[in-house]
Amino acid sequence: MLTRPLFRDRREAGQILGLRVKAAVRDPHPLVLALPRGGVPVAFEVAQWLHCDLDIFLVRKLGVPGNEELALGAIASGGVRILNESVVRDLGLSSSLIEIVAKKEQQELARREALYREGRSPIPPRGRTAILVDDGLATGATMLAAARGLAKQKPRRIVVAVPVASPDACEEFQAYVDKVICVFTPEPFHAVGLWYEDFPQTSDAEVRKLLERAVQVKTG
C-alpha cells in the first residue's frame, strides 16, 4: 500500500505522464487539452513530449455550499452540466440552489476563458485525437463534464490522461472515452494532493505563462 507522495510537483508528474502517453498514443497530430488550473502544468509537459498543440478545456466544479470541496457536479464549455445525483439526493439540494451555484461558476468559467486565451481562438479538436489532462482524478465529475463537452466538438478520439487517480474513477472512465491513461491508482486514494510533495494552487498568471510558452514553442 502506497503511503508517500508519488511526485515532487506537477511538472515532474507531467513528464512521467508524457512518457506514458507518448508510448500509448500514436495518432498523428494529437491535441492536448488541459483542465485549468492544476492540469495546465501537467499538460504542458505532456504536449512537449508529444511535440503537439496545447490548449485548455474549461471546466468548473459545482461545490456544495458550505463544503465546496464536495462536488455536486460540474459544468464545461459548451453548456454541459453534469450532476452527482447521489450527492444531490443525499443532501436534499434543491434545483434553485443548484442554479445559483451553476450561475456563479459559469461566470467564473467565462472570466477564465477571456483571461487565459488573451485573444487567441480555441484550437478546434474536430477530427483530431484529443487528450484531456488534469493533475489527478478523484470523483471524476469534472473530467466527465469535460469529456461530454468535448464529444460535442467531434474529435476523432478522446483520451483521458492523468498522473494519479482513484482506482474506481480510472476504471469508470473506460466506458466514457476511447482510452484512459492513469499512471498510478493508489488504494486508498483519499485526495489528489496527497500524492504530490508540492501541490500549491496553480495561479492564473502561471496558466497564461505556460500557454504563451506553448505557442512560442510551436511557432518558434
- Spatial CB neighbours of 196, under 8 Å, sequence gap ≥ 6: 5, 6, 7, 8, 9, 10, 13, 135
Per-residue model confidence (pLDDT) at position 219: 63
Cell of 19: 512518457
Cβ within 8 Å of residue 52, ≥6 positions away: 29, 30, 31, 32
What structural domains does the chain harbor?
10-59+118-219 (3.40.50.2020)
Q: What is the pLDDT of residue 82?
A: 84
What does each C-alpha distance from 45 to 94, 114, 174, 200 come to in angstroms? 41, 23, 24, 17
Q: Residue 76: its pLDDT value, please?
A: 85
SS3 140: coil
What is the sign of the dihedral through the CA atoms of 11, 39, 43 and 213?
Answer: negative
C-beta separation of 97 from 108 below 8 A: no
Task: Please list the ranges in the chain whose pLDDT falls under 50.
Answer: none
Assigned C-alpha cell, 81? 452540466
**Which sign does the torsion angle of CA 65, 70, 76, 81 carry?**
negative
CA distance 185 to 189: 8
Residue 181's nearest CA partner among 13, 55, 38 is: 13
pLDDT at 50: 96
Considering the entire predicted model, what is its pTM? 0.87
Q: Which residues of 61-100 are buried (b: 16+ CB within 10 A; e: fewer)?
A: bbbbeeeeeebbbbbbbeebbbbbeebbeeeebeeeebee
The pLDDT value recorded for residue 1 is 59
Query: What's residue 204's pLDDT?
Result: 94
pLDDT at position 71: 86
- Of 146, 140, 159, the closest CA to residue 50 belongs to 159
